[in-house]
Structure 1
């Protein structure tokens, strides 16, 4: 948690500053047109959302009280809204490697949120949608597939999330049949890039 706090502090210093406290609150509560941000500010915004999500997950584990649950929920909501803000900036950056990493991160974040929330029962999902979340499975899978296809820093995270969903979550929760064809397609570029890992996997399976 200490490392996350330091990361959050760094991201906060690099994010685009609001002129006043009221402007910051207004920006969080109401929809605005996408802002003009530098490339550094865009990446700081994305990293801020990712760190907040990590802190929310750790808070759920560390503090099981009701207050801790509420704090973690607020962090998760802020993280989700920040990811949504980053989504509005996808067409604002330059076509270069740095922006490609930004696009991959946004796809991973939006996709993971939608896929994760879509697994909740319908009653809980309606409540979550009421407080600002969305849980559309097809949207989530689409974002994750796009993120996995890009050659970005977070593409492997998108691929791993899809793998977990296709070969584990669908079976455990009984939400559908596992998609082995997609799982193999996701693994193929990594087995070609790291052939020794493939050999170890086959050896472990044979043992």
Structure 2
């Protein structure tokens, strides 16, 4: 709660300092730390801030992955037919699933932000010329423009995949919570 209080009173660097020592061991501290960095990146659009936030969110996701339920090849095939039940998860694994889904969603946002932070040189052409989507002076710069457009498209696709994976995880969690086996405990 201390880090949240610091964050909500605009003491971002103090909140980050408070969280940093536990970011390698606690998925909650790691996710919160990365979230604050992401908010900073979204406010500044600084490519370095975006990169730092993306790297920290990736680390948080890997930490969450270590706490998620381990599944065998057999489990993977059976999950295509049968949904996992609540009894197959520990409380920590359910929390890890939620944190993992949140990491995916925030990484998707950073992926979209990363793609849009490159594109300052592209200008839409006049509306009377629909044959070209963007104007670019002739010469070697045109190749750079197409490469930039390809990078933006790849970022967009990667972000979309992350959103879909996050949605699928949230959907599975919702089905667990809606199941008749679910009962609210002290941490819910």
TM-score after normalising by structure 1: 0.42
TM-score after normalising by structure 2: 0.46
Determine which structure has the larger helix proportion and give its number: 1
- Ranked by relative contact order (alpha carbons within 8 Å, sequence separation 6 or more), the top structure is 2
